[in-house]
Amino acid sequence: MMNQKNDSIESLATASLMTVASELFSNHHIITLPKGAKYTFQTIIMTLLHAATSVNNSLESASNDLKLKSFLTKIPSADTIFNYINCNNVEYILSSFRAMNRDLFKSMNIKGKVHDIAIDFHNIPFYGDENTPLISGIKPKNGSAWGYSYCTLDIIGDVKLTLDVIAINGFNKNYFDLITFLFERLEKMQIKVGTVYLDKEFCNDDTISALTKLNINFVIAAKRNPKIMGILDNFKKENGPESTVFEYNFNKNGTYFNLVATHDEEKGYILFATNKDVKSIEIFEKSIPEEYRKRWNIETGYRVKNNFKIRTCTKSPVARTLFFVIQCTLHNILNMLKSVLEITAYELKSLINEDIIKVIRYGLKSLYIIPFKLFLNYLNMYNKTRKRDLRNQLLRI
């Protein structure tokens, strides 16, 4: 058993992380190259990974940088890569992302376990014609009310993973259908949901009706409106600046829920919509804001994903989606590795980039020190033996 464990540790330590990433993209054909393509899939992926993991964080800069560093390997131009990418479509790329996740999650033993979930919109401002495909209305940001919008489904807490990405089309979001669709995805993944956390954009009757129908516990940061503030003003006159909870709905036929108003001396009332039982306002006042802080893990996740961002001015929705999926995939690889290793986003970027330069500079076909599936097997093996060792230690205490 000990030799098996040591072999798995050694194999994980010597694996090429560039190989792990590029083989994952290759196995699931994140893009399909056109017939007669002049460049190989591996060269395209390495150029994309170089853009995502180096200071040359645009495709143009990454291509030019690799051309300077390469002695033997021919590097495609950014225009050529964009042409190859645009032979694909958005749904194909998102389908490939889901297939890659299925492989990654096998090593992490997340199925059948209860996880808290965060759902959020990730908006990328757009400054061109709002009739461009895949452009939708977004919360105004950096001088634009239009942009590319993706809805992400994330596990938050000790495990942090982006489970799914949905491209938002059109000018209006159908929240009821979107929430229903996302939880159908979770059911297919065999993920059990503890509580779902959402921001103010989801505080509407459609979202709450969908979650209530699905019997999902939720905590949503709530918006203030004249009706709510009128209720709170009357409460404050009678009881002073105290926290409270009351039943509320958005319209006559809307779904009822609990609106928790926690009072802060500086900020006034902070509002949360929830369907959780209220047994004690004192306990509820303490637990709900504390629970909601878990949602900030998704904000941290966005910052980590931005470490792998490929910057571009392209209007192509296919390229935009591919670049976002690459961010999410590298974020998931990072968190998969964190289940075994102490590694940061910066270290992962550096290790991938070092391997890319080795392959490009010396014309190597690959750095397949360990195949991807075997890497996952070793990762899974190491996690199992580690848990077994911990359990045995606890039994001896």
For 173-239, give the secondary structure using H, E and C.
CCHHHHHHHHHHHHHHCCCEEEEEEECHHHCCHHHHHHHHHCCCEEEEECCCCHHHHHHHHHHHHHH
**Region 350-373: what's the mean pLDDT?**
69
Asked whether residue 207 is assigned to any structural domain, the reply reads: yes
Identify whether residues 241 and 210 lie together within a single domain. yes
Identify whether residues 288 and 187 lie together within a single domain. yes
Domain end among 249, 282, 306: 306
Domain end among 280, 306, 332: 306
Is the pLDDT at 281 greater than 80, yes or no? Answer: no
Looking only at the bridges linking them, the beta strands covering 144-156 and 135-141 are antiparallel
Q: Let me know if 394 is exposed, middle or buried by CB neighbors in 10 A (0-12, 13-18, 19+).
A: exposed
Asked whether residue 312 is assigned to any structural domain, the reply reads: no
Identify whether residues 193 and 97 lie together within a single domain. yes
Is the pLDDT at 13 greater than 60, yes or no? Answer: no
Q: How confident is the model at residue 368 (pLDDT cuts 50, 70, 90)?
A: very low
Smallest CA-to-CA distance from 167 within 149, 145, 147 is with 149
The confidence score (pLDDT) of residue 55 equals 87
Identify whether residues 163 and 265 lie together within a single domain. yes
Asked whether residue 45 is assigned to any structural domain, the reply reads: yes
Domain end among 306, 325, 360: 306
Max avg pLDDT among 17-31, 45-59, 347-361: 45-59
Asked whether residue 361 is assigned to any structural domain, the reply reads: yes
Count of CB atoms situated within 10 Å of the CB of 194: 16
Is the pLDDT at 175 greater than 80, yes or no? Answer: yes
Identify whether residues 57 and 21 lie together within a single domain. yes
Identify whether residues 56 and 179 lie together within a single domain. no
Asked whether residue 314 is assigned to any structural domain, the reply reads: no
Structural domain including 378 reads 2-90+340-395
Phi and psi, residue 396, nearest 5°: -85, -15
Q: Residue 225, Cα to own-chain centre: how many angstroms?
A: 31
The confidence score (pLDDT) of residue 216 equals 95
The confidence score (pLDDT) of residue 366 equals 52
Identify whether residues 180 and 266 lie together within a single domain. yes
The confidence score (pLDDT) of residue 126 equals 75
User: 52: which residues sit within 8 A by CB, 6+ positions away?
Assistant: 308, 309, 310, 323, 326, 327, 330, 349
Q: How confident is the model at residue 7 (pLDDT cuts 50, 70, 90)?
A: very low
306 vs 55: CA distance, rounded Å: 13
Identify whether residues 132 and 236 lie together within a single domain. yes
Identify whether residues 175 and 275 lie together within a single domain. yes
Asked whether residue 378 is assigned to any structural domain, the reply reads: yes
Asked whether residue 323 is assigned to any structural domain, the reply reads: no
Asked whether residue 317 is assigned to any structural domain, the reply reads: no
Identify whether residues 79 and 97 lie together within a single domain. no
Q: Give a three-class secondary structure readout of the chain.
A: CHHHHHHHHHHHHHCCHHHHHHHHHHHCCCCCCCCCCCCCHHHHHHHHHHHHHCCCCEHHHHHHHHHHHCCCCCCCCHHHHHHHHCCCCHHHHHHHHHHHHHHHHHCCCCCCCEEEEEEEEEEEECCCCCCCCCEEEEEEECCEEEEEEEEEEEEECCCCEEEEEEECCCCCCCHHHHHHHHHHHHHHCCCEEEEEEECHHHCCHHHHHHHHHCCCEEEEECCCCHHHHHHHHHHHHHHCCCCEEEEECCCCCCCCEEEEEEEECCCEEEEEEECCCCCCHHHHHHHHHHHHHHHHHHHHHHHHHHCCCCECCCCCHHHHHHHHHHHHHHHHHHHHHHCCCCCCHHHHHHHHHHHHHHHHHHCCCCCCCCCHHHHHHHHHHHHHHHHHHHHHHHHHC
Identify whether residues 216 and 133 lie together within a single domain. yes
Q: How confident is the model at residue 231 (pLDDT cuts 50, 70, 90)?
A: very high
Q: How many domains does the chain have?
A: 2
Identify whether residues 63 and 186 lie together within a single domain. no
> What percent of the chain has pLDDT above 90?
39
Q: State the Cα angle at 225 between 223 and 226, rounded to 5°.
A: 165
Higher pLDDT, residue 131 or 368? 131
Higher pLDDT, residue 71 or 235? 235
Domain of 302: which CATH number?
Answer: 3.90.350.10
**Region 256-273: what's the mean pLDDT?**
87
Is the pLDDT at 77 greater than 90, yes or no? Answer: yes
